[in-house]
Structure 1
């Protein structure tokens, strides 16, 4: 891969090496790319970007399995039975669910954006200006999380099925920190130190992630003085219901699964007595096996061809991710970390492709980050929330993943990269970090805040009228979904027009 760093800061700060008027000298893999027309190169780089997003989608389901395994971990606790006064051994969950939603689910599904922003900060280290790729992606991702993901989750439950938030207090805590995150970002960009970020502002931004975790835990445990006196519905101990074991290929009735679940290997079918080497081997076999019993039963030739094409398309990703160790090892922790490493690797390629797209098309990188990158890197959020809305008994994790991911985007996704850059600038230059395109970023923050109010109002209205945030009568679910998508289109359109100077 050819180096792009020599002029990447110029690209990201609005300087356009080609801006559609000349050749873009950079290339992704081979030098002959520079001999192609700019339009063709832009099309090819866009396809490569889309393929990276497919990879993120494929790894997300494996990550979600790892996260579930980690959360289900329990430990033996010795207690005294008050009735018999004898010692009793009970298994208690290691993880608090409220903390797990924020520290594992929200952080993990936001890791593509966090990786992208951190990579952008590292390659711009030493410059007086922060890279614009990270903040644009993270603000756009927040809008994608709040609107399109809510739009998907609200129609996922079966017709008439209602899924409600069991612990409304924890959700309100997450919602508060989510809104405050963007208010805080606006304050430090426009009010206290306009156009610059100081070291202490970056430190406090990152530190608020810890405050969010503490507040969520305090609310879940109903600590006095720091928790809201909100009634909590009973949340089942096993909040992820046990799944019906899938049949092996060739059985009379293979389980019918679709969408992202097609990415899941059949490793769950391996009996417990099989050793981990056999399970890992099975992952590779599943990755290179294109035809399944399900696909052989498809009657429509067109549908069968489409499924075969899709399996062929994702086969390289499935083979690559087969190197992720089985989640049965170490309670899922090793697979969890490996999944994050693969996500970071894809994010690195995405940053290179974004540079090239900006270079060959002349489109402002902030616009690309706000739209294509935000949607693509938020795909794991969408998949995780969709799976949670489908498989979990309550709506807590599906919706908590949305609100908490938005908080993580700011406190970690923007805070950590800014902390890297401000620390370096403080040591090397004794100067704060300057922010490029503050006006466009601040306008996006205001637009997000305004449209998000419209989203939350509808969720509260559904709670009061239908008794649930997700599901319900089919027509009302679809009306809500369309409304959320309209809010997202309004945000993206106005923010893009502002960056381009139209408004």
Structure 2
């Protein structure tokens, strides 16, 4: 618990993060150290995002074998169908996974405040601020990522419109809760309905993707890649190459006899043994790679650039060693790696909440302001990385933009809904009272600013579609003009929201 005492008319934060001697340091120096720690945590989030994204790709690539019998020839026809639907993968794995830092932070904040009649402000503030970061800066980056003149458009406008509708409705719904139905409070049923709407989003988007009658919009779908990610990453290729090479030359081939009567049993045993050995070989190699420094430099690189590169690698070394404990992405189609990555993200999010509490305590800055700015930017970094990778590697803009709109929906339906459900359920049982929201007016004001600025963002995307034929890329000059415009909208949101919760306006 944070302890603040008044000494000679000044407020002094007596809480500490690591050791009690912190309180003897000056407030300015403590603030600097806490912000430095916050920045290092965000570097860790960036590092784990690459592993998370690779494991997610492996999950989505998974296919199942379907055997059908031809009704005429009675011959067996074998085909391989994708397990994951293209649209559902975007909404669930991509959007939910990249929003997990915000979700973890909000959930941890709710658990820490459980039993209080008032909800913590850190989670909702971060999630609303994250929505603005997703919509403006991430769109700004994705617009300029394609090569000069390259155009990437949304292939399935129907699915995007469905996702966009639920994204906007999420914030309308939040405003209704805070200002209309139960002003400044949240009931158990409101929290439950908030979570349920995430399931409705999944169903509606799937219905649109499959063009269900009476539910889907009558919009044609243009070309789109058959696979979620058409081109594999270098690390994924290397893992595949290592696996194939080991399978061809492994000792199992020399030790196992292949008789006709036992060939099926032997093949199954061989595959199982290869998977086990391959698992440990790749996992061991991850630790070796983590401590290896990249020494390749161009002859044109000067000594300062090389020094900066080496310094950056040493800075990443602790994170690389820590994340080497995440199992290889080939195991169980990537699920173990995926879940492990989310657990690491949760751990970093917990440290971030502690650092943010200390920053607010030492500086006296309103927690909402910290949430709108530093926390929103830092925890949204996986969203930025994922959308940037999708904009670079996919032939369409669907996943890059879907990650933005769906992440905003996930932020409300799951990121705010689940923490509020935890607190309202406890308050309902223990006190028979709803959950009170501190500074609900400031949060509502931020929602109104977000609505106004978000319309400006969507209108520009529509104009780009009509003029250039695509939302992302196009002429370099206009791409950068669009980028600057989106960043300007984000600055407007941050400044107005911060001034409101600070009591200036």
TM-score, normalization by structure 1:
0.91
What pairs up with 1:28-177 in 2 under 5 angstroms? 28-80=17-69, 86-177=75-166
CA–CA distance in structure 2, aligned partners of residues 441 and 483 of structure 1? 24
Pair 1:284-2:256 in alignment = no
The partner residue of 1:488 within 483, 487, 490 is 490
Rounded to whole Å, the distance in 1 between the matches of 2:184 and 2:94 is 33
In 2, are the aligned partners of 1:265 and 1:286 still within 8 Å (CA)? Answer: no
Q: Secondary structure at the match of 2:503?
A: coil
CA contact (8 A) 1:18 1:359 kept: no
Does the 8 Å contact 1:267/1:282 carry over to 2? no
For the pair 1:460 / 2:462, whether they are aligned, the reply is yes
What is the Cα deviation at residue 158 of structure 1? 0.4
8 Å CA contact 1:18–1:360 kept in 2: the answer is no
Of the candidates 198, 201, 216, which is equivalent to residue 190 of structure 2?
Answer: 201
Matched residue SS, 2:286: helix
Contact 2:67 2:79 survives alignment (8 Å) = yes
Alignment CA distance shift 1:82-1:242 (3 Å): farther
Deviation at 1:467, TM superposition (A): 0.6
* Kept after mapping to 2: 8 A contact 1:72/1:93: yes
Query: Cα 1:265–1:90, aligned 2, differ >3 Å: closer, same or farther?
Result: closer
Q: SS in structure 2 opposite 1:146?
A: helix
Aligned to 1:75, the other structure's residue is in SS state strand
2:271: which partner in 1? none
Give secondary structure in 1 for the equivalent of 2:67.
strand
Shift of 1:17: 5.7
Partner in structure 2 of residue 234 of structure 1:
223
Say if 2:467 is the partner of 1:478.
no
After superposition, residues 81-480 of structure 1 pair within 5 angstroms as 86-243=75-232, 245=234, 267=239, 270-274=242-246, 275-293=278-296, 295=297, 299-480=301-482
Tell me: CA distance 1:244–1:133, structure 2 relative to 1, closer, same or farther (3 Å).
closer
Counterparts of 2:503 and 2:287, CA distance in 1: 50
2:2/2:361 contact within 8 Å kept: no
Q: Does the 8 Å contact 2:153/2:470 carry over to 1?
A: yes
Q: Which of these two proteins has the greater Rg computed from alpha carbons?
A: 2
Aligned to 1:27: 16
Aligned equivalents of 1:93 and 1:265: distance in 2? Answer: 20
Question: Does the residue aligned with 2:78 lie in a helix, a strand or coil?
Answer: strand
Tell me, what secondary structure is at the counterpart of 2:68? Answer: strand
3-state secondary structure, aligned to 1:154: helix
Residues 218-274 of structure 1, C-alpha deviations (whole Å, 9 max, x = no match)? 00000011111111012221242234757xxxxxxxxxxxxxxxxx99656634344
For 2:301 and 2:293, locate their aligned partners in 1 and report how far apart those are by CA, in whole Å.
Answer: 17
In structure 2, C-alpha distance between the alignment counterparts of 1:201 and 1:461, rounded to whole Å: 37
* Residues 286, 324 of structure 2: 8 Å contact kept: yes
User: Partner residue of 2:251?
Assistant: none
Q: 1:11 corresponds to which residue?
A: none
1:188-233 deviations in Å (ceiling 9; x for gaps): 1000110110000000000000000000100000001111111101
| Alpha-carbon distance in 2 for matches of 1:328, 1:384 | 20
Measured after TM superposition, the shift of residue 177 of structure 1 is: 0.2
Partners of 2:136 and 2:6 in 1: how far apart?
35
Aligned residue-pair number: 473
Distance, in Å, in 2 between the alignment partners of 1:398 and 1:266 is 25
* Structure-2 separation of matches of 1:125 and 1:387: 38
Q: Which residue of 2 aligns with 1:251?
A: none
Equivalent residues of 1:49, 1:353 under 8 A apart: yes
- Aligned residue for 2:412, secondary structure, equals helix
Name the CA distance, whole Å, in 2 between partners of 1:80 and 1:292. Answer: 57
Structure 2 residue matching 1:22: 3-state secondary structure: strand
String of CA shifts for 1:320-379, please: whole Å, max 9, x gaps. 000000000000000000000000000000000000000111111110001000000000
Find the aligned partners of 2:60 and 2:71 in 1 and give their Cα distance: 29
Segments of 5+ residues of structure 2 without an aligned counterpart are: 247-277
Q: In structure 1, the residue corresponding to 2:145 is in which secondary structure?
A: coil
For 1:478 and 1:18, locate their aligned partners in 2 and report how far apart those are by CA, in whole Å. 50
Shift of 1:296: 6.5
TM-score with structure 2 length normalisation?
Answer: 0.91
- What's the CA shift for 1:297? 5.5
Distance 1:281 1:188, change over 3 A: same
Unpaired runs of 5+ residues, structure 1, are: 1-5, 9-15, 247-263
Deviation at 1:24, TM superposition (A): 1.3
Q: Assess if the C-alpha contact under 8 Å between 2:103 and 2:415 holds in 1.
A: yes
CA distance in 2, matches of 1:245, 1:210: 35
